[in-house]
């Protein structure tokens, strides 16, 4: 596969991730603007975010948008890994796996 095709797919992944995350955050901001203001702004765990979304908590919706924005570059690495695996480019597959391992370790150690 040509480099321009790879860049095209990666660009699509990044654009979709950005638009999705921004859209979710805008929905959360609109929900917050029309809420009665009783929602407490505190850090939420993943479980609390999903529970909060089910309860209609606008802070949880905004947090989900932020998580999606953070996950977008990681999704880009996963997309590159798949593209490189399809193209049988072993050294790039290994580089993408290494990046994912480093990110995984950072999440485990930092979390």
Of 15-19, 62-66, 71-75, the one with minimum mean pLDDT is: 71-75
pLDDT tens-place string over residues 14-59: 999 999 999 999 999 999 999 887 777 777 888 889 998 999 899 9
Closest CA to 75 of 19, 27, 29, 4: 19
- pTM for this entry: 0.79
Contact (Cβ atoms closer than 8 angstroms) between residue 65 and residue 14: no
Quick one: tokens of 24? Answer: 């979710």
Question: Of residues 92 and 42, which shows the higher confidence score?
Answer: 92
pLDDT at 3: 66
State the Cα angle at 107 between 82 and 97, rounded to 5°: 25
């Amino acid at each position: 596969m040509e480099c321009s095709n790879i860049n095209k797919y990666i660009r699509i992944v990044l654009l979709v991730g950005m638009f999705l995350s921004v859209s979710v955050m805008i929905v959360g901001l609109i929900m917050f603007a029309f809420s009665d203001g009783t929602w407490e702004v505190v850090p939420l765990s993943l479980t609390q975010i999903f529970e909060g979304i089910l309860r209609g908590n606008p802070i949880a919706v905004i947090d989900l948008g932020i998580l999606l924005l953070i996950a977008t570059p990681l999704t880009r690495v996963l997309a590159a890994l798949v593209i490189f695996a399809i193209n049988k480019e072993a050294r790039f597959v290994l580089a993408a796996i290494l990046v994912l391992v480093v990110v995984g370790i950072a999440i485990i150690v930092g979390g």
